[in-house]
Amino acid sequence: MLNCIEKIKKNINLEESSKTIENILITIYLVEGISTKELARRNFLPLPITAAIKKEFIKEKLVIQDRGTRLTFNGIFFVEKELGFKNINKELYIRLLTNTQEEHKEITEIKEEIHNIFQCRPQADVTLDQSKSSIDTSLKRAMLCLKNYDLIGKNILCLGDDDLVSIALGFLLKKLFPHTFYQNTKITVIDIDKRIIEYINDIAMKESLPIKCEYADLRNSLSNKFKNRFDCFFTDPPYTLEGMNLFLSRGIEALKSHSDLNIYFSFAHKSSIYQLNMQKNFLTMGLAVSAVTLKFNTYEGAGIIGNTGQMIVLKTTDITKPLIKSTYKNLLYTGEFTKTIRFYKCKNVEK
């Protein structure tokens, strides 16, 4: 049935992505009887395009016009079964989507539930440019994922996860699906640090979270089992241009070959000339910058970057491609570029 989304896109020759069409159907599911005007406003679309998409949904017998726009039985089945919304706490989901600035009691509860998990995580390995993000930061990333319709029923990738974003995503899912284990979301963590892999796997098993961790050194070519699988990915790579290019390239290969997929890219605040070089590389990879939020991320003991970092949301396009495909053999981590030279004199040496 997922093919009907592609069929609708083709029928009306949309520039917008298949995900945009899916989001309209989800909005109708969440707000029964919604007007076409409100449907357009919530999805940032012109009214004529929204009306055309709705007309195609009616042809496919997924939507009816009855005191506003509503889903048919087939439409409800599609959203719940195919898109993964069955048994969701709809009231909470709508509240989290629409009141994103509020500190919801459910988010406060999650913070309390995961406090010890974050406190007990492995020490940061500075040779891998690790720095622990705060609980608030990891939950903000999870909420950003939800806000962009990237959480429910999606395959999510975390490229490196010493920040435990996968755990924050998993506990958010538990709140949204409180009475059942039924939901289609799958979270994959790829990391070089076996301590992180073991720790997250243990938590996922104890808490029944839909998380699977895999070991990989991204300097090696990406395994075929990870390619063209994911709907979005998170990464907080080494704070070098080389680290950025490598992690984004591996993530792009892991994404499905669709436009309008989100990349949640955390990076240190940099000078304007450095950011210009970053943006040149985004363009070379065919990525569009969707949003930049300064001081989005906060870290523990990361004085070298001022304990804060920016969140850059990138979107794939029809021309997106990785910058690096083959094995990477050059310098990667910050410490490899800035080796400390110590000048000292042994006290036992005679003057």
pLDDT in tens, 10-39: 888 877 788 999 999 999 999 999 999 999
Distance CA 298, CA 226 (A): 29
Q: Mean of the per-residue pLDDT values for the chain?
A: 89
Q: How far apart are CA 246 and CA 240, in angstroms?
A: 10
3-state secondary structure of 312: strand
CB count in 10 Å sphere of residue 226: 18
| Angle (CA) 265 121 336, round 5° | 55
3-state helix, strand, coil in the chain (%, to 5): 45, 15, 40
Helix (H, G, I), strand (E, B) or coil at 256: coil
Amino acid of residue 309:
G
111: CB partners within 8 A, 6+ apart: 135, 136, 139
Give which of 103, 169, 163 is closest to 142, Cα–Cα: 169
Q: Give the residue ranges of the chain where pLDDT is below 50.
A: 303, 340-351
Domain boundaries, the chain: 1-83, 90-337
Residue type, 202: D
How confident is the model at residue 331, as a pLDDT?
A: 80
At CA 302, angle to CA 162 and CA 128, rounded to 5? 45
Distance CA 76, CA 118 (A): 38
Interstrand relation of 308-316 and 262-267 (parallel, antiparallel or unpaired): antiparallel
pLDDT given for residue 342 in this prediction: 41
